[in-house]
Chain A
Amino acid sequence: MINPERIIDSINVGILIIDEHLTLCYMNTWFALHSDVNALESEGKRLTELFLLTTEQISSLKRHIKTSLTLQTPSFYTADSNGYLFPLKHAITTQSAFEHMQQDITVVPYDVAQKKVTLLVYDQTVLMEEKNKCHKESAELVRAMKLANETIKKLENAKTKLVKQQEIIYKQAHYDSLTSLANRTLLHQRLQLLIEEGFENSKKFGVLFLDLDHFKKVNDTLGHDIGDALLVKISKILLSATRKSDTVARLGGDEFVLLIDDIQAEETLIRVAQKIIDAISLPLNINDIPLHVTTSIGISLFPEHGSTYNELIKNADTALYEAKAAGRNVYKLFQE
Protein backbone atom coordinates (compact mmCIF):
# COMPACT_ATOMS: atom_id res chain seq x y z
CA MET A 1 0.00 0.00 0.00
CA ILE A 2 1.20 3.49 -0.74
CA ASN A 3 0.46 6.60 1.23
CA PRO A 4 -0.75 9.20 -1.30
CA GLU A 5 -0.77 12.04 1.22
CA ARG A 6 2.92 11.57 1.93
CA ILE A 7 3.62 11.83 -1.78
CA ILE A 8 1.35 14.84 -2.22
CA ASP A 9 3.15 16.63 0.61
CA SER A 10 6.63 15.88 -0.66
CA ILE A 11 6.00 16.53 -4.33
CA ASN A 12 7.54 19.61 -5.99
CA VAL A 13 4.19 20.79 -7.37
CA GLY A 14 1.57 23.01 -5.80
CA ILE A 15 -1.80 21.31 -5.39
CA LEU A 16 -5.05 23.08 -4.59
CA ILE A 17 -8.60 21.80 -4.66
CA ILE A 18 -11.18 24.55 -5.11
CA ASP A 19 -14.83 24.80 -6.10
CA GLU A 20 -16.39 26.98 -8.77
CA HIS A 21 -16.76 29.87 -6.28
CA LEU A 22 -13.01 29.67 -5.61
CA THR A 23 -13.48 28.29 -2.11
CA LEU A 24 -10.38 26.41 -1.01
CA CYS A 25 -10.96 22.76 -0.08
CA TYR A 26 -7.36 21.60 0.11
CA MET A 27 -3.82 22.99 -0.10
CA ASN A 28 -0.68 20.85 -0.09
CA THR A 29 2.53 21.62 1.80
CA TRP A 30 4.41 22.90 -1.25
CA PHE A 31 1.78 25.54 -1.91
CA ALA A 32 1.53 26.54 1.75
CA LEU A 33 5.30 26.97 2.01
CA HIS A 34 5.58 29.05 -1.14
CA SER A 35 2.61 31.23 -0.27
CA ASP A 36 3.26 31.72 3.45
CA VAL A 37 -0.27 30.60 4.15
CA ASN A 38 -1.40 28.16 6.80
CA ALA A 39 -3.00 25.33 4.85
CA LEU A 40 -5.40 24.09 7.52
CA GLU A 41 -6.58 27.56 8.58
CA SER A 42 -7.16 28.48 4.95
CA GLU A 43 -9.50 25.65 4.07
CA GLY A 44 -13.04 26.94 3.59
CA LYS A 45 -11.78 30.43 2.74
CA ARG A 46 -12.06 32.01 -0.68
CA LEU A 47 -8.90 32.32 -2.77
CA THR A 48 -9.73 36.02 -3.08
CA GLU A 49 -9.41 36.41 0.69
CA LEU A 50 -6.06 34.62 0.72
CA PHE A 51 -4.40 36.15 -2.32
CA LEU A 52 -4.39 39.44 -4.10
CA LEU A 53 -6.07 38.54 -7.39
CA THR A 54 -7.14 41.04 -10.04
CA THR A 55 -10.68 41.04 -11.44
CA GLU A 56 -9.34 39.72 -14.70
CA GLN A 57 -7.44 36.91 -12.96
CA ILE A 58 -10.61 35.93 -11.10
CA SER A 59 -12.76 35.79 -14.24
CA SER A 60 -10.02 33.96 -16.09
CA LEU A 61 -9.76 31.35 -13.33
CA LYS A 62 -13.53 30.91 -13.33
CA ARG A 63 -13.48 30.43 -17.10
CA HIS A 64 -10.80 27.76 -16.79
CA ILE A 65 -12.82 26.00 -14.09
CA LYS A 66 -15.92 26.07 -16.27
CA THR A 67 -14.01 24.74 -19.31
CA SER A 68 -12.48 21.98 -17.27
CA LEU A 69 -15.78 20.90 -15.67
CA THR A 70 -17.86 21.20 -18.85
CA LEU A 71 -15.52 19.32 -21.15
CA GLN A 72 -14.11 17.15 -18.34
CA THR A 73 -10.61 17.79 -19.61
CA PRO A 74 -7.69 19.80 -18.28
CA SER A 75 -7.50 23.51 -18.96
CA PHE A 76 -4.11 25.16 -19.00
CA TYR A 77 -2.39 28.36 -17.87
CA THR A 78 1.11 28.78 -19.23
CA ALA A 79 3.88 30.84 -17.71
CA ASP A 80 4.69 31.95 -21.22
CA SER A 81 1.42 33.75 -21.83
CA ASN A 82 0.12 34.28 -18.29
CA GLY A 83 3.23 34.83 -16.19
CA TYR A 84 1.66 33.90 -12.88
CA LEU A 85 -1.72 33.60 -11.22
CA PHE A 86 -0.79 33.36 -7.54
CA PRO A 87 1.67 35.93 -6.21
CA LEU A 88 4.14 33.36 -4.86
CA LYS A 89 7.82 33.74 -3.93
CA HIS A 90 10.21 32.14 -6.34
CA ALA A 91 13.20 30.09 -5.25
CA ILE A 92 15.79 31.98 -7.27
CA THR A 93 18.49 33.52 -5.07
CA THR A 94 20.29 35.47 -7.76
CA GLN A 95 18.92 38.66 -9.22
CA SER A 96 15.80 37.75 -11.20
CA ALA A 97 13.79 39.52 -13.86
CA PHE A 98 10.67 38.30 -12.13
CA GLU A 99 9.14 39.51 -8.92
CA HIS A 100 6.93 36.44 -8.61
CA MET A 101 7.19 32.75 -9.39
CA GLN A 102 6.27 32.09 -13.03
CA GLN A 103 3.66 29.36 -13.14
CA ASP A 104 2.25 26.72 -15.44
CA ILE A 105 -1.11 25.77 -13.97
CA THR A 106 -3.27 22.85 -15.02
CA VAL A 107 -6.91 22.95 -13.97
CA VAL A 108 -8.27 19.39 -13.87
CA PRO A 109 -11.76 18.20 -12.88
CA TYR A 110 -11.80 16.82 -9.34
CA ASP A 111 -15.49 16.30 -8.68
CA VAL A 112 -17.78 17.26 -11.52
CA ALA A 113 -20.99 16.88 -9.51
CA GLN A 114 -19.72 19.17 -6.75
CA LYS A 115 -18.04 21.43 -9.31
CA LYS A 116 -14.62 21.05 -7.80
CA VAL A 117 -11.32 21.17 -9.62
CA THR A 118 -7.69 20.50 -8.77
CA LEU A 119 -5.11 23.15 -9.57
CA LEU A 120 -1.63 21.82 -10.26
CA VAL A 121 0.93 24.61 -9.97
CA TYR A 122 4.38 24.15 -11.51
CA ASP A 123 7.27 26.55 -10.87
CA GLN A 124 8.61 27.61 -14.28
CA THR A 125 10.66 30.62 -13.14
CA VAL A 126 14.05 29.14 -14.06
CA LEU A 127 12.77 28.14 -17.49
CA MET A 128 11.26 31.55 -18.10
CA GLU A 129 14.47 33.21 -16.93
CA GLU A 130 16.43 31.18 -19.48
CA LYS A 131 13.86 31.89 -22.15
CA ASN A 132 14.08 35.62 -21.44
CA LYS A 133 17.85 35.50 -21.69
CA CYS A 134 17.59 33.66 -25.00
CA HIS A 135 15.12 36.23 -26.28
CA LYS A 136 17.34 39.08 -25.22
CA GLU A 137 20.37 37.48 -26.84
CA SER A 138 18.58 36.72 -30.06
CA ALA A 139 17.17 40.25 -30.14
CA GLU A 140 20.70 41.60 -29.71
CA LEU A 141 21.91 39.27 -32.42
CA VAL A 142 19.17 40.51 -34.74
CA ARG A 143 20.18 44.11 -33.96
CA ALA A 144 23.86 43.37 -34.59
CA MET A 145 23.05 41.58 -37.83
CA LYS A 146 20.97 44.51 -38.97
CA LEU A 147 23.79 46.93 -38.19
CA ALA A 148 26.33 44.72 -39.98
CA ASN A 149 24.08 44.47 -43.01
CA GLU A 150 23.64 48.23 -43.10
CA THR A 151 27.41 48.74 -42.88
CA ILE A 152 28.01 46.22 -45.66
CA LYS A 153 25.48 48.02 -47.80
CA LYS A 154 27.15 51.38 -47.14
CA LEU A 155 30.55 49.94 -48.01
CA GLU A 156 29.19 48.42 -51.18
CA ASN A 157 27.68 51.74 -52.18
CA ALA A 158 30.99 53.48 -51.50
CA LYS A 159 32.79 50.85 -53.55
CA THR A 160 30.42 51.28 -56.49
CA LYS A 161 30.92 55.03 -56.32
CA LEU A 162 34.69 54.64 -56.20
CA VAL A 163 34.71 52.28 -59.18
CA LYS A 164 32.62 54.78 -61.12
CA GLN A 165 34.95 57.64 -60.19
CA GLN A 166 37.95 55.55 -61.19
CA GLU A 167 36.33 54.93 -64.54
CA ILE A 168 35.73 58.64 -64.99
CA ILE A 169 39.30 59.47 -64.03
CA TYR A 170 40.66 56.82 -66.36
CA LYS A 171 38.50 58.13 -69.17
CA GLN A 172 39.61 61.72 -68.53
CA ALA A 173 43.22 60.61 -68.54
CA HIS A 174 43.06 58.43 -71.63
CA TYR A 175 40.39 59.83 -73.90
CA ASP A 176 39.83 63.08 -75.71
CA SER A 177 36.94 64.95 -74.19
CA LEU A 178 35.58 66.39 -77.45
CA THR A 179 35.64 63.31 -79.69
CA SER A 180 35.95 60.50 -77.12
CA LEU A 181 38.84 59.18 -79.18
CA ALA A 182 42.06 57.98 -77.55
CA ASN A 183 44.33 60.84 -76.45
CA ARG A 184 48.08 61.14 -76.62
CA THR A 185 48.61 59.14 -73.41
CA LEU A 186 46.55 56.17 -74.57
CA LEU A 187 48.10 56.38 -78.03
CA HIS A 188 51.53 56.16 -76.44
CA GLN A 189 50.50 53.08 -74.44
CA ARG A 190 48.92 51.34 -77.43
CA LEU A 191 51.83 52.06 -79.71
CA GLN A 192 54.29 50.83 -77.11
CA LEU A 193 52.28 47.64 -76.81
CA LEU A 194 52.24 47.16 -80.59
CA ILE A 195 55.99 47.61 -80.73
CA GLU A 196 56.52 44.95 -78.06
CA GLU A 197 54.11 42.56 -79.77
CA GLY A 198 55.66 43.34 -83.14
CA PHE A 199 59.09 42.35 -81.89
CA GLU A 200 57.79 39.21 -80.26
CA ASN A 201 55.72 37.95 -83.16
CA SER A 202 57.48 39.72 -86.07
CA LYS A 203 54.26 41.53 -86.89
CA LYS A 204 53.90 44.60 -89.04
CA PHE A 205 51.77 47.63 -88.28
CA GLY A 206 51.34 51.11 -89.63
CA VAL A 207 51.06 54.61 -88.24
CA LEU A 208 48.84 57.08 -90.12
CA PHE A 209 49.38 60.74 -89.24
CA LEU A 210 46.45 62.81 -90.42
CA ASP A 211 45.88 66.57 -90.56
CA LEU A 212 42.88 68.31 -92.11
CA ASP A 213 43.70 70.70 -94.94
CA HIS A 214 43.07 74.35 -94.08
CA PHE A 215 41.20 73.57 -90.86
CA LYS A 216 42.25 76.91 -89.39
CA LYS A 217 40.11 78.62 -92.05
CA VAL A 218 37.00 76.74 -90.90
CA ASN A 219 37.59 77.86 -87.31
CA ASP A 220 38.32 81.43 -88.33
CA THR A 221 35.37 81.88 -90.69
CA LEU A 222 32.64 79.68 -89.17
CA GLY A 223 33.62 79.76 -85.50
CA HIS A 224 34.85 77.17 -83.01
CA ASP A 225 31.46 75.51 -82.57
CA ILE A 226 31.38 74.48 -86.20
CA GLY A 227 35.05 73.59 -86.01
CA ASP A 228 34.41 71.32 -83.03
CA ALA A 229 31.37 69.74 -84.69
CA LEU A 230 33.49 69.09 -87.76
CA LEU A 231 36.15 67.36 -85.64
CA VAL A 232 33.49 65.13 -84.08
CA LYS A 233 32.19 64.25 -87.53
CA ILE A 234 35.71 63.49 -88.78
CA SER A 235 36.38 61.21 -85.79
CA LYS A 236 33.23 59.23 -86.65
CA ILE A 237 34.40 58.86 -90.24
CA LEU A 238 37.78 57.65 -89.02
CA LEU A 239 36.20 55.10 -86.70
CA SER A 240 33.97 53.71 -89.42
CA ALA A 241 36.86 53.50 -91.86
CA THR A 242 38.94 51.37 -89.48
CA ARG A 243 38.55 48.08 -87.63
CA LYS A 244 37.60 47.86 -83.98
CA SER A 245 41.07 46.58 -83.12
CA ASP A 246 42.73 49.64 -84.63
CA THR A 247 43.44 52.75 -82.57
CA VAL A 248 42.15 56.15 -83.59
CA ALA A 249 43.64 58.96 -81.52
CA ARG A 250 43.38 62.72 -81.53
CA LEU A 251 46.59 64.49 -80.63
CA GLY A 252 45.02 67.93 -80.46
CA GLY A 253 43.70 70.53 -82.90
CA ASP A 254 43.01 68.79 -86.20
CA GLU A 255 45.79 66.23 -85.82
CA PHE A 256 44.83 62.55 -85.69
CA VAL A 257 46.94 59.41 -85.47
CA LEU A 258 45.72 55.96 -86.48
CA LEU A 259 47.42 52.69 -85.56
CA ILE A 260 46.56 49.99 -88.08
CA ASP A 261 47.50 46.65 -86.61
CA ASP A 262 48.33 43.27 -88.08
CA ILE A 263 48.97 44.10 -91.71
CA GLN A 264 50.64 41.83 -94.24
CA ALA A 265 52.08 44.62 -96.47
CA GLU A 266 52.09 48.35 -96.94
CA GLU A 267 49.32 48.00 -99.58
CA THR A 268 46.84 47.51 -96.80
CA LEU A 269 47.86 50.83 -95.24
CA ILE A 270 47.59 52.57 -98.57
CA ARG A 271 44.11 51.18 -99.06
CA VAL A 272 43.01 52.42 -95.64
CA ALA A 273 44.56 55.85 -96.23
CA GLN A 274 42.84 56.23 -99.59
CA LYS A 275 39.54 55.10 -98.08
CA ILE A 276 39.83 57.82 -95.43
CA ILE A 277 40.76 60.52 -97.93
CA ASP A 278 37.79 59.56 -100.09
CA ALA A 279 35.36 59.45 -97.19
CA ILE A 280 36.41 62.85 -95.83
CA SER A 281 36.36 64.55 -99.22
CA LEU A 282 32.68 63.77 -99.64
CA PRO A 283 30.38 66.80 -99.02
CA LEU A 284 29.57 67.17 -95.32
CA ASN A 285 26.73 68.88 -93.55
CA ILE A 286 27.68 70.39 -90.22
CA ASN A 287 24.84 72.11 -88.31
CA ASP A 288 23.07 72.71 -91.66
CA ILE A 289 26.20 74.23 -93.17
CA PRO A 290 27.50 72.39 -96.25
CA LEU A 291 31.25 71.88 -95.94
CA HIS A 292 33.92 70.42 -98.11
CA VAL A 293 37.14 69.45 -96.38
CA THR A 294 40.07 67.33 -97.35
CA THR A 295 42.87 65.70 -95.44
CA SER A 296 46.50 64.77 -95.95
CA ILE A 297 48.02 61.61 -94.49
CA GLY A 298 51.60 60.62 -93.70
CA ILE A 299 52.38 56.93 -93.17
CA SER A 300 55.19 55.17 -91.33
CA LEU A 301 55.61 51.43 -91.04
CA PHE A 302 56.91 49.19 -88.25
CA PRO A 303 59.58 47.90 -88.24
CA GLU A 304 60.86 49.45 -91.50
CA HIS A 305 60.52 53.12 -90.42
CA GLY A 306 61.40 52.87 -86.78
CA SER A 307 61.12 50.80 -83.66
CA THR A 308 60.25 53.48 -81.08
CA TYR A 309 57.28 55.71 -80.50
CA ASN A 310 59.22 58.86 -81.33
CA GLU A 311 60.72 57.48 -84.51
CA LEU A 312 57.44 56.15 -85.87
CA ILE A 313 55.47 59.33 -85.06
CA LYS A 314 58.24 61.63 -86.29
CA ASN A 315 58.56 59.72 -89.59
CA ALA A 316 54.80 59.66 -90.17
CA ASP A 317 54.81 63.43 -89.51
CA THR A 318 57.59 63.86 -92.02
CA ALA A 319 55.54 61.93 -94.60
CA LEU A 320 52.54 64.14 -93.77
CA TYR A 321 54.67 67.20 -94.50
CA GLU A 322 55.50 65.62 -97.86
CA ALA A 323 51.83 65.08 -98.56
CA LYS A 324 51.01 68.70 -97.76
CA ALA A 325 53.88 69.81 -99.97
CA ALA A 326 52.53 67.61 -102.76
CA GLY A 327 49.34 69.68 -102.87
CA ARG A 328 47.23 68.12 -100.11
CA ASN A 329 44.31 65.62 -100.23
CA VAL A 330 46.87 62.84 -100.67
CA TYR A 331 48.80 60.33 -98.59
CA LYS A 332 52.57 59.81 -98.58
CA LEU A 333 54.54 56.84 -97.34
CA PHE A 334 57.70 57.77 -95.44
CA GLN A 335 60.84 57.66 -97.61
CA GLU A 336 64.33 57.46 -96.05
Chain B
Amino acid sequence: MAEILFNPTQEDTLKELINVSFGVAASLIGDLLESHVKLHIPEISTIAIRDFDAKTCELLGDETEFYLTKQRFIGSFNGEVIFIFSPRCANAFCQLLLRDEEALSEMETKSSVLELTNIITSACISQLCELINGKTVFQVPSIERRDTTQLERYEKIIGYENVIVIKTALDVEDKNILGHMFILLNNRMLEHLQNIMEEL
Protein backbone atom coordinates (compact mmCIF):
# COMPACT_ATOMS: atom_id res chain seq x y z
CA MET B 1 0.00 0.00 0.00
CA ALA B 2 2.91 2.33 0.78
CA GLU B 3 3.84 4.69 -2.02
CA ILE B 4 7.31 6.17 -2.04
CA LEU B 5 7.04 9.94 -2.37
CA PHE B 6 10.40 11.04 -0.95
CA ASN B 7 13.96 9.95 -1.51
CA PRO B 8 16.10 9.24 1.60
CA THR B 9 17.48 12.80 1.78
CA GLN B 10 14.03 14.34 1.49
CA GLU B 11 12.66 11.89 4.01
CA ASP B 12 15.40 12.77 6.50
CA THR B 13 14.51 16.44 6.19
CA LEU B 14 10.80 15.76 6.52
CA LYS B 15 11.36 13.60 9.59
CA GLU B 16 13.51 16.22 11.25
CA LEU B 17 10.94 18.93 10.56
CA ILE B 18 8.12 16.81 11.94
CA ASN B 19 10.30 15.89 14.91
CA VAL B 20 10.95 19.56 15.67
CA SER B 21 7.26 20.39 15.19
CA PHE B 22 6.27 17.61 17.56
CA GLY B 23 8.73 18.99 20.10
CA VAL B 24 7.05 22.39 19.89
CA ALA B 25 3.62 20.79 20.13
CA ALA B 26 4.61 18.52 23.04
CA SER B 27 6.01 21.43 24.98
CA LEU B 28 2.73 23.36 24.64
CA ILE B 29 0.61 20.29 25.40
CA GLY B 30 2.79 19.61 28.45
CA ASP B 31 2.18 23.19 29.58
CA LEU B 32 -1.58 22.91 29.11
CA LEU B 33 -1.72 19.56 30.91
CA GLU B 34 0.75 20.74 33.55
CA SER B 35 2.52 17.47 33.05
CA HIS B 36 5.54 16.03 31.31
CA VAL B 37 4.67 14.75 27.87
CA LYS B 38 6.79 12.23 26.06
CA LEU B 39 6.39 12.41 22.31
CA HIS B 40 7.85 9.47 20.45
CA ILE B 41 10.05 9.82 17.39
CA PRO B 42 7.40 10.14 14.71
CA GLU B 43 6.94 7.21 12.37
CA ILE B 44 6.35 8.55 8.90
CA SER B 45 5.08 6.78 5.82
CA THR B 46 3.48 7.87 2.58
CA ILE B 47 0.48 6.51 0.68
CA ALA B 48 -1.66 7.41 -2.31
CA ILE B 49 -5.04 8.97 -1.52
CA ARG B 50 -6.92 5.95 -2.95
CA ASP B 51 -5.52 3.89 -0.07
CA PHE B 52 -6.75 6.30 2.58
CA ASP B 53 -9.73 4.21 3.73
CA ALA B 54 -7.74 0.97 3.72
CA LYS B 55 -4.99 2.64 5.76
CA THR B 56 -7.54 3.95 8.25
CA CYS B 57 -8.90 0.44 8.81
CA GLU B 58 -5.39 -0.96 9.11
CA LEU B 59 -4.35 1.63 11.70
CA LEU B 60 -7.50 1.20 13.78
CA GLY B 61 -7.20 -2.60 13.88
CA ASP B 62 -10.08 -4.10 15.81
CA GLU B 63 -11.70 -0.77 16.60
CA THR B 64 -14.52 0.14 14.26
CA GLU B 65 -15.57 3.47 15.70
CA PHE B 66 -13.25 6.45 15.51
CA TYR B 67 -13.05 10.22 15.64
CA LEU B 68 -11.92 12.00 12.52
CA THR B 69 -10.85 15.64 12.48
CA LYS B 70 -10.33 17.66 9.34
CA GLN B 71 -8.67 21.00 8.86
CA ARG B 72 -7.78 22.71 5.62
CA PHE B 73 -4.99 25.18 5.16
CA ILE B 74 -4.96 27.39 2.11
CA GLY B 75 -2.50 29.79 0.51
CA SER B 76 0.77 29.31 -1.30
CA PHE B 77 1.15 26.26 0.93
CA ASN B 78 -2.12 24.40 0.89
CA GLY B 79 -3.55 21.04 1.75
CA GLU B 80 -5.54 19.37 4.48
CA VAL B 81 -4.76 17.66 7.75
CA ILE B 82 -6.80 14.72 8.98
CA PHE B 83 -6.42 13.01 12.33
CA ILE B 84 -7.93 9.78 13.49
CA PHE B 85 -8.25 8.69 17.11
CA SER B 86 -9.91 5.70 18.67
CA PRO B 87 -12.67 6.67 21.15
CA ARG B 88 -10.52 5.24 23.96
CA CYS B 89 -7.58 7.55 23.18
CA ALA B 90 -9.87 10.52 22.59
CA ASN B 91 -11.49 10.00 26.00
CA ALA B 92 -8.15 9.50 27.69
CA PHE B 93 -6.89 12.82 26.35
CA CYS B 94 -10.11 14.59 27.29
CA GLN B 95 -9.83 13.33 30.86
CA LEU B 96 -6.26 14.64 31.06
CA LEU B 97 -7.13 18.02 29.59
CA LEU B 98 -10.22 18.58 31.73
CA ARG B 99 -8.65 16.90 34.76
CA ASP B 100 -11.72 14.83 35.14
CA GLU B 101 -11.88 11.10 35.84
CA GLU B 102 -15.60 10.97 35.20
CA ALA B 103 -17.13 9.83 31.94
CA LEU B 104 -17.17 12.86 29.67
CA SER B 105 -19.76 14.10 27.24
CA GLU B 106 -19.42 13.69 23.50
CA MET B 107 -19.03 17.46 23.09
CA GLU B 108 -16.29 17.65 25.70
CA THR B 109 -14.41 14.81 24.03
CA LYS B 110 -14.76 16.38 20.60
CA SER B 111 -13.63 19.83 21.69
CA SER B 112 -10.64 18.36 23.57
CA VAL B 113 -9.54 16.37 20.55
CA LEU B 114 -9.84 19.49 18.40
CA GLU B 115 -7.63 21.41 20.83
CA LEU B 116 -5.01 18.68 20.57
CA THR B 117 -5.10 18.41 16.78
CA ASN B 118 -5.13 22.18 16.41
CA ILE B 119 -1.80 22.33 18.24
CA ILE B 120 -0.11 19.51 16.33
CA THR B 121 -1.44 20.75 12.99
CA SER B 122 -0.34 24.32 13.64
CA ALA B 123 3.13 23.23 14.73
CA CYS B 124 3.69 20.90 11.77
CA ILE B 125 2.16 22.97 9.03
CA SER B 126 3.92 26.15 10.23
CA GLN B 127 7.29 24.36 10.01
CA LEU B 128 6.58 22.97 6.56
CA CYS B 129 5.21 26.32 5.41
CA GLU B 130 8.29 28.13 6.68
CA LEU B 131 10.50 25.65 4.85
CA ILE B 132 8.93 26.44 1.50
CA ASN B 133 8.70 30.13 2.35
CA GLY B 134 4.96 29.97 1.85
CA LYS B 135 1.97 31.64 3.40
CA THR B 136 -0.96 29.70 4.71
CA VAL B 137 -4.26 30.36 6.46
CA PHE B 138 -5.95 27.75 8.61
CA GLN B 139 -9.65 27.08 8.15
CA VAL B 140 -12.09 26.14 10.90
CA PRO B 141 -11.53 22.46 11.76
CA SER B 142 -14.30 19.90 12.11
CA ILE B 143 -14.67 16.63 13.96
CA GLU B 144 -17.03 13.71 13.55
CA ARG B 145 -17.47 10.20 14.81
CA ARG B 146 -17.22 7.56 12.13
CA ASP B 147 -17.42 3.84 11.70
CA THR B 148 -15.03 1.75 9.60
CA THR B 149 -17.88 -0.56 8.60
CA GLN B 150 -19.66 2.32 6.86
CA LEU B 151 -16.79 4.10 5.12
CA GLU B 152 -18.65 4.15 1.81
CA ARG B 153 -21.29 6.39 3.42
CA TYR B 154 -18.96 9.35 3.95
CA GLU B 155 -18.08 11.92 1.31
CA LYS B 156 -14.99 11.04 -0.67
CA ILE B 157 -11.93 13.24 -0.38
CA ILE B 158 -11.06 14.97 -3.61
CA GLY B 159 -8.37 17.38 -4.72
CA TYR B 160 -5.38 15.56 -3.31
CA GLU B 161 -3.28 12.70 -4.60
CA ASN B 162 -0.73 12.16 -1.84
CA VAL B 163 -0.83 11.48 1.87
CA ILE B 164 1.92 11.70 4.47
CA VAL B 165 0.96 9.44 7.36
CA ILE B 166 2.45 10.28 10.77
CA LYS B 167 1.95 8.19 13.86
CA THR B 168 1.55 10.45 16.87
CA ALA B 169 2.07 8.80 20.22
CA LEU B 170 2.01 10.86 23.40
CA ASP B 171 2.86 9.42 26.77
CA VAL B 172 1.31 11.51 29.50
CA GLU B 173 1.42 10.29 33.07
CA ASP B 174 0.41 6.62 32.83
CA LYS B 175 -1.58 7.10 29.66
CA ASN B 176 -0.55 6.41 26.12
CA ILE B 177 -2.49 8.44 23.60
CA LEU B 178 -2.16 7.23 20.07
CA GLY B 179 -3.40 9.09 17.04
CA HIS B 180 -2.63 9.18 13.37
CA MET B 181 -2.06 12.32 11.39
CA PHE B 182 -2.54 12.50 7.64
CA ILE B 183 -1.21 15.43 5.64
CA LEU B 184 -2.99 15.54 2.30
CA LEU B 185 -1.18 17.25 -0.56
CA ASN B 186 -1.87 17.58 -4.25
CA ASN B 187 0.82 16.73 -6.80
CA ARG B 188 1.87 20.33 -7.30
CA MET B 189 2.39 20.92 -3.57
CA LEU B 190 4.25 17.65 -3.16
CA GLU B 191 6.58 18.45 -6.02
CA HIS B 192 7.26 21.88 -4.56
CA LEU B 193 8.08 20.35 -1.19
CA GLN B 194 10.34 17.71 -2.77
CA ASN B 195 12.27 20.33 -4.76
CA ILE B 196 12.85 22.54 -1.74
CA MET B 197 13.97 19.62 0.40
CA GLU B 198 16.33 18.48 -2.34
CA GLU B 199 17.97 21.90 -2.50
CA LEU B 200 18.73 22.13 1.22
Contacts and interface: CB of A to CB of B under 8 A. Distances in A.
Interface residues of B, number: 21
Contact of B118 (A67, A82, A104): A67
A69 to B, nearest CB: 10
A70 interface: yes
A107 to B, nearest CB: 10
B28 A81 contact: no
Contacts of B115: 60, 63-64, 67, 75
Nearest to B100: A56
A76 interface: yes
A77 interface: yes
Contact of B111 (A60, A66, A67, A74): A60
Interface in B112-126: 114-115, 118-119, 122-123, 126
A66 to B, nearest CB: 7
Given A80-B143, A81-B114, A66 B32 contact: yes
B116 to A, nearest CB: 10
A104 B140 contact: yes
Interface string A58-88: 0010011011001111111110111100000
B107 interface: yes
B110 to A, nearest CB: 4
B98 interface: yes
A171 to B, nearest CB: 43
Given A63-B115, A66-B28, A66-B32, A73 B126 contact: yes
Q: Does more than half of chain B's interface fall in helix, strand or loop, or is it mixed?
A: helix
B110 A80 contact: yes
* Most chain A beta-carbon contacts within 10 A, residue among B140, B141, B142: B140
A24 to B, nearest CB: 23
Contacts of B138: 73-74, 76
Contacts of A104: 140
B143 A81 contact: yes
A315 interface: no
Contact of A78 (B97, B119, B122, B142): B142
Contacts of A56: 98
B53 interface: no
Interface string B131-172: 000000010111100000000000000000000000000000
Contact of A70 (B28, B114, B140, B143): B28
A137 B79 CA distance: 33
B28 A78 contact: no
A76 B114 contact: yes
29 contacts: A60-B111, A63-B32, A64-B115, A66-B28, A67-B28, A67-B32, A67-B115, A67-B119, A67-B122, A70-B31, A71-B24, A71-B28, A71-B122, A71-B126, A73-B122, A76-B114, A76-B138, A77-B111, A78-B111, A78-B114, A78-B140, A78-B141, A78-B143, A80-B110, A80-B142, A80-B143, A82-B111, A83-B107, A104-B140
Interface of A: 56, 60, 63-64, 66-67, 70-78, 80-83, 104, 106
The 4 closest A-B pairs by CB, nearest first: A81-B110, A73-B122, A81-B111, A71-B122
Given A78-B140, A81-B107, A83-B107, 11 more contacts: A63-B97, A67-B119, A71-B24, A71-B28, A71-B126, A74-B122, A74-B138, A75-B115, A75-B118, A76-B140, A82-B107
